[in-house]
Amino acid sequence: MDQTVDRTARELRATSLRPKTRLESGEHAAADQLAGHTRQEPDSLFERCAWFYALCREYLFRDHTQEIAQALFPADPPKPGTRLLELGCGPGFYACRLSEELPDLHTTGIDLSENLIQRAESRARSRNLSNCSFQHADAHSLPFASNSIDAIVVSRLFLIISDKEGVIREIFRVLKPEGRCFIAEPTSGFRTRFPLAFMWLLSRLTTSPAGKYREPQQADVMSRSDFEALVQCEPWGESELHYDGWYQYAVCQKASAACSIANAGVSTQ
């Protein structure tokens, strides 16, 4: 707790003193040019206010670790070498919790925010987790081979993503046959919208002129029907949806390789 508060105070001081994110926008442009691009992405609020999001994750949001473990590994605990991916892992809360609870898992958290990845890495280090790693990557184009991942966790990501179907497509692509994914999206209004709204306010108060950020002004809380339609846009072997007062959940399993081949045969006849 003291470490979190200390680090937060340091990040807050540094953030309010500098107008841009850790990767300054000029550095983004230079990196893009080196990579042969001219496009310049807007900054991310999660990068700028990483310390604030990490506090919310730690003390405000629900911990679904047990539900995730049960949903992803319903019969037996994962075997050694089982690969789990967390998309939009933020400060690495679930990647670390699952790696602690299920030591045979190898967990990879991906996120676009370098500051949050650093926090996630230091969280894993402070817990001596050697089965947990983090990398900078975009959930719309995952740097993993098709059919290579056993399980995927996605928590509170679709709230801020515009191409939601593109992300579901990537989840489906990288999961192995019979691989499972767990998706949790909040449904409650104020508690869901508060962190993003506060990050916008904070960035306005600490930046002049006001920065441009890629996140929407308001979190996109999906209706049940939109959530269901999103999940069903891929041909899962099995999928279940659950709801409680605060969240909507989807647990999906890709069909076995044999089923997929049989279905492909039927659809081409």
Ligand X SMILES: C[S@@+](CC[C@H](N)C(=O)[O-])C[C@H]1O[C@@H](n2cnc3c(N)ncnc32)[C@H](O)[C@@H]1O
Q: Supply 46's token pair.
A: 């999660």
**Closest residue by Cα to residue 108 from 139, 137, 85:** 85
Mask for 32-51, x = binds ligand X (CB under 6 A): ------------x-x-----
What's 60-103 look like in SS3? CCCCCHHHHHHHHCCCCCCCCCEEEEEECCCCCHHHHHHHHHCC
Does the protein bind ligand X through residue 113 (CB under 6 A)? yes
Interacting positions 62-101 with ligand X (CB under 6 A): 88-90, 93
CA distance 68 to 176: 18
Mask for 187-226, x = binds ligand X (CB under 6 A): ----------------------------------------
Member of 157, 181, 222, 251 binding ligand X (CB under 6 A) = 157
Does the protein bind ligand X through residue 164 (CB under 6 A)? no
User: What Rg value do the Cα atoms of the chain yield, rounded?
Assistant: 19
Does the protein bind ligand X through residue 116 (CB under 6 A)? yes
CB of 127 to ligand X, least distance (A): 17
Given the complex with ligand X, which of 102 and 157 has the nearer CB atom?
157
Given the complex with ligand X, which of 65 and 260 has the nearer CB atom?
65
Return the exposure string of 188-209: e unless at least 16 CB atoms fall within 10 Å of the residue's CB, then b. eeeebbebbeebbebbeebbee
**Closest residue by Cα to residue 67 from 250, 191, 254:** 250
Given the complex with ligand X, which of 77 and 143 has the nearer CB atom?
143
Given the complex with ligand X, which of 23 and 255 has the nearer CB atom?
23
| Interaction site with ligand X (CB under 6 A) | 44, 46, 57, 61, 88-90, 93, 110-113, 116, 138-140, 155-157, 159-161
